[in-house]
Structure 1
Amino acid sequence: MQAAFQPGEATLDRISWVRLSAVRLPLATPVSDAKVLTGRQRPMTEIAFLFAEIATEEGHHGIGFSYSKRAGGPGQYAHAKEITPVLIGEDPSDIAKIWTKLVWAGASVGRSGLATQAIAAVDVALWDLKAKRAGLPLAKLLGSHRDSVRCYNTSGGFLHTPIEQVLENATASLGRGISGIKIKVGQPDTAEDLCRLAAVREHLGDGVPLMVDANQQWDRPTAQRMGRAMESFNLVWIEEPLDAYDVEGHAALASSLDTPVATGEMLASVAEHWELIRGRAADVIQPDAPRIGGITPFLRLAALADHHHLQLAPHFAMEIHLHLAAAYPHEPWVEHFEWLEPLFNERLDIRDGRMHVPGRPGLGFTLSDQARAWTTEECEFGKRP
Structure 2
Amino acid sequence: MVTVDRVTGVRVSSVTLPLPVPISDAKVLTGRQRPMTEVAMLFAEITTEAGLEGVGFSYSKRAGGPGQFAHARELAPVLVGEDPNDIAKLWDKLVWAGASVGRSGLSVQAIAAFDIALWDLKAKRARLPLAKLLGAHRESVRCYNTSGGFLHAPVEEVLERAAESVANGIGGIKIKVGHPDPAVDLARVAAVREKIGDDVTLMVDANQQWDRPAARRMCRALERFGLGWIEEPLDAYDFEGHAALTAAFDTPIATGEMLAGAGEHAELIRAGGADIVQPDAPRVGGITQFLKVMALADARHLQLAPHFAMEIHVHLAAAYPREPWVEHFEWLDPLFDEHLEISGGRMHLSGRPGLGVTISERARAWTVAEFRV
With normalisation by structure 1, the TM-score equals 0.96
Distance 1:160 1:316 in 2: 19
| 8 A contact 2:210–2:234 mirrored in 1 | yes
Distance 1:379 1:281 in 2: 41
Q: What is the Cα deviation at residue 282 of structure 1?
A: 0.3
Residue aligning to 1:81: 73
SS for the counterpart of 1:330 is: coil
Q: What is the Cα deviation at residue 347 of structure 1?
A: 0.7
Residue aligning to 1:196: 188
Partner deviation per Cα, 1:156-192 (whole Å, 9 max, x = no partner):
0000001001000001101111010000000110110
| 8 A contact 2:337–2:358 mirrored in 1 | yes
Residue aligning to 2:58: 66
The AA in structure 2 aligned to 1:343 is L
Distance 1:159 1:93 in 2: 44
Residue aligning to 1:267: 259
Q: 1:148 aligns with which of 109, 121, 140?
A: 140
1:330 is aligned to 2:322: yes
The AA in structure 2 aligned to 1:207 is D
Q: 1:35 aligns with which of 17, 21, 27?
A: 27
Partner deviation per Cα, 1:21-59 (whole Å, 9 max, x = no partner):
000000000000000001000000000010000000010
SS for the counterpart of 1:230 is: helix
Q: What is the Cα deviation at residue 83 of structure 1?
A: 1.1
Q: 1:47 aligns with which of 18, 27, 39?
A: 39
Partner deviation per Cα, 1:339-366 (whole Å, 9 max, x = no partner):
0000000010000110001110000000
1:102 is aligned to 2:94: yes
Residue aligning to 1:249: 241
SS for the counterpart of 1:235 is: coil
Distance 1:102 1:247 in 2: 29
Q: 1:205 aligns with which of 180, 197, 202?
A: 197
Partner deviation per Cα, 1:294-319 (whole Å, 9 max, x = no partner):
00000011001000000000000000
Q: What is the Cα deviation at residue 269 of structure 1?
A: 0.7
Distance 1:107 1:225 in 2: 42
Residue aligning to 1:353: 345
Residue aligning to 1:313: 305
Distance 2:217 2:334 in 1: 41
Residue aligning to 1:3: none
Unpaired segments ≥5 residues, structure 2: none
| 8 A contact 2:4–2:85 mirrored in 1 | no
SS for the counterpart of 2:148 is: helix
Q: What is the Cα deviation at residue 203 of structure 1?
A: 0.8
Q: 2:284 aligns with which of 282, 286, 292?
A: 292
Distance 2:217 2:139 in 1: 39
The AA in structure 2 aligned to 1:45 is T
Distance 1:55 1:84 in 2: 12
Residue aligning to 1:21: 13
| 8 A contact 2:119–2:354 mirrored in 1 | yes
SS for the counterpart of 1:64 is: strand
Residue aligning to 2:175: 183
Number of aligned positions between the proteins: 373
Distance 2:37 2:359 in 1: 22
Residue aligning to 1:224: 216
Distance 1:319 1:265 in 2: 16
The AA in structure 2 aligned to 1:251 is A
Q: What is the Cα deviation at residue 84 of structure 1?
A: 1.1
The AA in structure 1 aligned to 2:232 is E
User: Percent same amino acid among aligned pairs?
Assistant: 73
